[in-house]
Structure formats: structure tokens, C-alpha cells
Amino acid sequence: MIDQVWQISGDMAEDTVIHLDETVSFLADREGIEPPVISAFEQEGSPLWRVDLFFAEKPDSGFLERIVKALALENWPHDAGYIEKRDWVAESQRQQPPIRAGRFFVHGAHDADKIPGGTDPIQIDAGQAFGTGRHETTWACLTVLDALSETLRPDCILDLGTGSGLLAIAAHRLWPKAHILASDIDATSIDVACENFILNRAKTRLSRERSGSIDAIVADGLEDTIFGQEGPFDLIVANILAGPLIKLSGDIERHLRTGGTLILSGLMTFQTDDVLDAYKKTSLQPVDRLVKGEWLALTLQKPAK
């Protein structure tokens, strides 16, 4: 844990926040600087996001100036403030407010004592894997999963691109007897997901009993024989990005059981037609969509023969 850190903070419009990570990483990479940890969150009653950049070393004011300029930020300081002996990971986690999606209340450890009655709490601490529930796509998937639990009874579920494991945990809560496979191309995400399964008392597989357990695997798309062994799946949720969703359309169809349901997310509204065009080439039929801001989740079905 780093016990000293340099910080620069300010407000930012949502459409600038979208480019923040890319711009800062690009500039840092070009100048050989270790990129800062970025924390960004919506502020109640304001269209502007609050953004903090945390640097392990004092950043050069020229570098800060170039960030401020590249993103056309107004009223941002060009000098970083020094925070002494502050646990900045805990600090950035404290700043992550909990979210509600369907029956779920997704929160960090710091909000574990604030769980509202009648909700199903899932604890995810901000860390190295994507998926604290704060992103529109994750929120949309949680909401769709919750709604589908009224009618679906899947035995076998795939969470493709599991990140923090949040959607797999939500699926486990909704269908405690189902077998769930959680996969990600990124090994760190799978490590984090496994920690989160334990933290949230989801049963990882201990015996040959598949029912009610979650398995996790590092895999690129469906490029592993395990998907053939564990599938076909009654329900697949894939919150990745439009590009991989298009590329994986044939593989996803193949691993979805006849009559099965697919939730696609990670695409922005302007990418909907491109994604649906790719899935038109398969047997899958779009049945629903949930839009949240500029993002959406699509629900598709594989017709029963």
C-alpha cells in the first residue's frame, strides 16, 4: 500500500469522462510517466462528474497542463496537491457510492452497514477488475437478470467477460441451484472474481456436484474446450464491447441451448444496428432492450425448434 500520493481533482462533463482514461494513458505512455489511478463518479444534482487523478510520484506541472489542455478542462489546477499518509485505495473506495439495480444493492466494504432492508446485497470493492455496478452496462445487466428471474429457470449459465464476477454472483443469487461458469480473457479479473465469490458466499465448486456452484476460467471468447463440456448454456450474459460481441456471435449461438436466452451489453446505442446485423446471421431473435444513458443491453432468444 502506498502511503503518500499526489492528487489533482476537478469536475468534468460526462462526455469528457468517457475519453479521460484513453487520453491520460496516451499522454502518460508518450511521456514515459506511470499513469495515475483515476476515480470518477457522478454527483447528485449535478451534470458534472467529480474526477480525481492519483499519482504515486509528484507529476510534472507540464504534464498536468497537457492533460488539462487535451481535455479542455476549465478551472482545473495545474499543480498536484500532496496527500500525506493517506490510504488512497480506501479513499477512492469510500468515494464509490453504492448502487441499486433491481433487487440488488451493490456496495463497497465501507457501506456494509448501510444495507437497506428488502434488498439483496452484493459486496464489490473497487479494485483491479471492471464491475462495481456503477457502469451503465453492468447496471443494465443486473436489472435485466433480475427481471428475467420472474420467468426463467436456467440450469446452466455463462457469464462471459465476468470482470469482478458481479454478474455471476447476481445470477447465483437469483438461481441458487444453477451451475455458473464465469470467464474472462484477463487473469487478474478471474483472481478478483474468485475473491468476490468467496466474499459473497457464492459456492465455488468443491465437489462433483455442479448444481449451485460457480466455476471460473481464463479464456479468450469461447476458445476453450470447457465451454463445450459445461454447455450448452440456458442463459449467457456477455457484457464486453460491441467489437468482441460481433466477432463472437457465431460461437455464442453455438453454445446457447435451443430455447435459451442471451443478454448482450457493453455496446453504445449507436452500435446497436451493427451488433444486431451480426446476430441476424444467426438463429437468435432480439426480444428486448434496456437503454441506460448512451449504453444498452439487448436480450435475444434462440428459438425452440
Give buried/exposed letters for 73-85 (b at 16+ CB in 10 A, else e).
beebeeebeeeee
We find the least distance from the C-beta atom of residue 220 to ligand SAH, in angstroms, to be: 5
Q: Determine, following the binding rule CB under 6 A, whether residue 167 of this chain makes contact with ligand SAH.
A: yes
Binding mask 203-232 for ligand SAH (x = CB under 6 A): -----------------xx-----------
Which of 102, 175, 110, 174 minimizes the C-alpha distance to 133?
A: 102
Question: Of 6-14, 101-109, 134-142, 172-180, which segment contacts ligand SAH by CB under 6 A?
Answer: 134-142
Which residue among 68, 185, 217, 268 contacts ligand SAH (CB under 6 A)? 185
Which residue among 161, 172, 180, 300 contacts ligand SAH (CB under 6 A)? 161
Give the pairing of strands 48-55 and 4-13. Answer: antiparallel
Q: Determine, following the binding rule CB under 6 A, whether residue 21 of this chain makes contact with ligand SAH.
A: no
Cell of 64: 498536468
Rg (CA), the chain: 20
Question: Of 128-136, 172-180, 198-206, 276-284, which segment contacts ligand SAH by CB under 6 A?
Answer: 128-136
CB atoms within 10 A of CB 187: 9
Question: Of 14-22, 72-80, 98-106, 237-245, which segment contacts ligand SAH by CB under 6 A?
Answer: 237-245
Burial of 46 (0-12, 13-18, 19+ CB in 10 A): exposed
Distances in Å between the Cα of 188 and the Cα atoms of 126, 138, 185, 195, 242 are 14, 19, 9, 11, 22
Q: Determine, following the binding rule CB under 6 A, whether residue 184 of this chain makes contact with ligand SAH.
A: yes
Q: Determine, following the binding rule CB under 6 A, whether residue 141 of this chain makes contact with ligand SAH.
A: yes
The DSSP element (H or E) to which 53 belongs, if any, is strand 48-55
Q: Determine, following the binding rule CB under 6 A, whether residue 138 of this chain makes contact with ligand SAH.
A: yes
Q: Determine, following the binding rule CB under 6 A, whether residue 101 of this chain makes contact with ligand SAH.
A: no
We find the least distance from the C-beta atom of residue 25 to ligand SAH, in angstroms, to be: 16
Question: With respect to ligand SAH, which residue has the nearer C-beta, 7 or 184?
Answer: 184
We find the least distance from the C-beta atom of residue 223 to ligand SAH, in angstroms, to be: 8
Nearest-angstrom CA–CA distance, 205 and 260: 24
What are the residues whose beta carbons fall under 8 Å from the beta carbon of 6, sequence distance 6 or more? 54, 55, 56, 57, 58, 59, 80, 81, 82, 83
CB 56 within 8 A of CB 28: no
We find the least distance from the C-beta atom of residue 201 to ligand SAH, in angstroms, to be: 19
Question: Of 57-65, 111-119, 146-154, 179-187, which segment contacts ligand SAH by CB under 6 A?
Answer: 179-187
What are the residues whose beta carbons fall under 8 Å from the beta carbon of 214, sequence distance 6 or more? 165, 168, 169, 172, 180, 181, 182, 197, 202, 203, 204, 205
Which residue among 5, 240, 275, 284 contacts ligand SAH (CB under 6 A)? 240
Residue 103, CA atoms < 13 Å, CB-side half-sphere: 13
We find the least distance from the C-beta atom of residue 59 to ligand SAH, in angstroms, to be: 28
Question: Of 37-45, 113-121, 183-191, 255-263, which segment contacts ligand SAH by CB under 6 A?
Answer: 183-191
Residue 28, CA atoms < 13 Å, CB-side half-sphere: 16
We find the least distance from the C-beta atom of residue 305 to ligand SAH, in angstroms, to be: 28
Residue ranges in contact with ligand SAH by CB under 6 A: 129-131, 137-138, 141, 160-163, 166-167, 183-186, 189, 220-221, 239-240, 244
